[in-house]
Structure 1
Amino acid sequence: MFGLWKNSHHDQENDQVQRELKVNELKTAIGPLSGRSLQYCTDACYKRYLEARNWNVDKSKKMLEETLNWRSTYKPEEIQWHEVAMEGETGKVYRANFRDRHGRTVLILRPGMQNTKSLDNQMRHLVYLIENAILNLPEGQEQMSWLIDFTGWSISNSVPIKSARDTVNILQNHYPERLGIAFLYNPPRIFEAFWKIVKYFLEAKTFQKVKFVYPKNNDSVELMRSYFDEENLPSEFGGKAMLNYDHEEFTRQMSQDDVKSAALWGFEKKLQHAGNGYSGAEVAPAPVGLAPLAG
């Protein structure tokens, strides 16, 4: 028994060494970085891109370079809440005030609460909240959880296939290994037709993280409760908490997080908080030594 443990322990150490070598190899392949690209590419970031591409350095390099190009043009860290607040009025996507049992930030998605038509704005809103979920991760935690509530969802108000594909592409290509688990709670039977199309966009790693939960299926309910404390979980997901999205309160939270994000990324940004008295507040650059956002 001791010999087996010893060999297992040795294998783990060997794997760790091999992974560190791969990280260094990827760093060398990417080459010198500066500015926000340098800040984005932490060791944790390199590991996530390698993990997403099964530790193939060439494939990881291609993936990371595409993300760095996307971030340099899309500038997700610069999106401010006031720019996307209208998208959030119904609470169709928001960061929950609780974490899962692993300490991960939780995003609640309610596709039945869709309130706008612009796919570009909807995507910016989602990207903002993904960035915000990452901003609020505890130290040492890299992933978030998604809870998807299908109350009020129907084919007539469902997101277009293009929007679903764009969401999947952004999550998989530019936020690899950020999704820990996604629970789709009690989707209606008609959703199956929609899902048959969407699942073709999912890579195997992402597909395995998507779990369907049905209230009458004890196994799926137990799986969900292994990730969430019943006291925190809203009743819409079979828990005991009340789901009460307050747009004004959420706006105050996001306004504060915009200040944190601006400081974290080390750039001055005028934060315009519509309707809450904060207008044009200057944000100072990040103090020296502030921990960078883990890519």
Structure 2
Amino acid sequence: MFRLWSSSHHQDNDPLQHEVKINELKAAIGPLSGRSLQFCTDACFRRYLEARNWNVDKAKKMLEETLNWRSTYKPEEICWREVANEGETGKVYRASFRDRSGRTVLILRPGMQNTVSIDNQMRHLVYLIENAVFNLPEGQEQMAWLIDFTGWTLSTTVPVKSARDTINILQNHYPERLAVAFLYNPPRIFEAFWKIVKYFLDNKTFHKVKFVYPKNKDSVELMKQYFDEKNLPTEFGGHAILNYDHEEFSKLMTQDDVRSAAFWGRDDKLPHYGNGHSGAEVAPEPVCLAPVAS
């Protein structure tokens, strides 16, 4: 579940040629309206072309499949109140800090799994990915993932089929959204799961996934290239002590839901969230930024 989006080396680094390809893809997709029009920005067209090595036909197929998926799954309509129970333990959350490039950071702690419904778990993850994208700074298209394996066992992981289905959704419908994913200190038993799951992943994304072990100096130094130690939680070898407060995080997500509803043209009447639960570690008060379309 951890190597989720496509990456690519451009076949042609000529910016003018890229513009030609973007315009070709726009023409191939045809007229759009409503939320599809909002979704399909020039940056969106670029990501899908990059994910398919600037092949217009392949990018068109991929983007059309995403538009169909979004029209039925409606990820932009998922509200925090619908998935809040999934977040009670802080198993996935948007961190209050960014990486050195200003990217939004999602922290995942699979050992904190607290529910059994795969569908609800997926909606929770999709919600937070949409939220992370929504909070990207202007000009930034990608996010970073930090995955903490504390408490992870084979009994707390998702079934292989569910992992494959999750990867398919994320890899196919959020291309070029992942900059890097650090898997921090995974236990040896994770290797068995990884050997199976990695075959479902796009080969072009493989190098975005970095295994970090505290006793491996090179892997630790690589992680420091992406993150300032003063911001990095102690669970990832940094110096920050961050406590996840579910009630406070819920308030932040509810505020973002109001902004998201306005951006997407929803007329949601979102209630004040006030029934949170204390949990584990994270994000007090992420900075609210202007929305950036996917």
Give the structure-1-normalised TM-score. Answer: 0.89
Aligned to 1:5: none
* Alignment partners' CA distance in 2, 1:44 and 1:37: 14
Aligned to 1:125: 124
Aligned to 2:71: 72
Aligned to 2:28: 29
Alignment map for 1:131-280 (pairs within 5 Å) = 131-275=130-274
Deviations 1:126-157 (A, max 9, x none): 00000000011000000000000000001111
User: What amino acid sits opposite 2:150 in the alignment?
Assistant: T
Gaps of 5+ in 2: 1-11, 277-289
User: What amino acid sits opposite 2:138 in the alignment?
Assistant: E
User: What amino acid sits opposite 2:155 in the alignment?
Assistant: S
User: What amino acid sits opposite 1:236 in the alignment?
Assistant: E
Report deviation, 1:294: 2.5
The count of corresponding residues between Structure 1 and Structure 2 is 270
* Alignment partners' CA distance in 1, 2:64 and 2:85: 32
Alignment map for 1:35-114 (pairs within 5 Å) = 35-114=34-113
Q: Secondary structure at the match of 1:211?
A: strand
* Alignment partners' CA distance in 1, 2:271 and 2:168: 30
Q: Secondary structure at the match of 1:267?
A: coil
Aligned to 1:10: none
* Alignment partners' CA distance in 1, 2:188 and 2:62: 36
Q: Secondary structure at the match of 1:271?
A: coil
Deviations 1:156-210 (A, max 9, x none): 1112212321221122100000011000000000100000011001102221111
Say if 1:94 and 1:109, in contact at 8 Å, map to a contact too: yes
Deviations 1:82-133 (A, max 9, x none): 0000000000000000000010000000000000000000000000000000
User: What amino acid sits opposite 1:174 in the alignment?
Assistant: H
Identity %: 81
* Alignment partners' CA distance in 1, 2:291 and 2:250: 24
What is the aligned-residue RMSD (CA, Å)? 1.5
Report deviation, 1:52: 0.2
- Which shifted more, 234-243 or 19-28? 234-243
* Alignment partners' CA distance in 1, 2:92 and 2:272: 19
User: What amino acid sits opposite 1:119 in the alignment?
Assistant: I
> Larger relative CO (CA 8 A, sep 6+): 1 or 2?
2
Q: Secondary structure at the match of 1:215?
A: coil
* Alignment partners' CA distance in 1, 2:245 and 2:205: 31
Gaps of 5+ in 1: 1-12, 278-290
Q: Secondary structure at the match of 2:170?
A: helix
Q: Secondary structure at the match of 1:99?
A: coil
Say if 2:212 and 2:223, in contact at 8 Å, map to a contact too: yes
User: What amino acid sits opposite 2:218 in the alignment?
Assistant: D
Report deviation, 1:217: 0.5
Say if 2:251 and 2:274, in contact at 8 Å, map to a contact too: no
Say if 2:247 and 2:274, in contact at 8 Å, map to a contact too: no
Aligned to 1:283: none
* Alignment partners' CA distance in 1, 2:260 and 2:186: 35
Say if 1:110 and 1:151, in contact at 8 Å, map to a contact too: yes
Q: Secondary structure at the match of 2:89?
A: coil
Report deviation, 1:276: 5.8
* Alignment partners' CA distance in 1, 2:61 and 2:203: 19
Report deviation, 1:237: 0.3
Question: Residue 14 and residue 246 in structure 1: after superposition, are their counterparts in 2 closer, same or farther (change >3 A)?
Answer: closer
Report deviation, 1:77: 0.4
Say if 2:83 and 2:120, in contact at 8 Å, map to a contact too: yes
Report deviation, 1:292: 6.6
* Alignment partners' CA distance in 2, 1:260 and 1:42: 19
* Alignment partners' CA distance in 2, 1:90 and 1:99: 22
User: What amino acid sits opposite 1:120 in the alignment?
Assistant: D
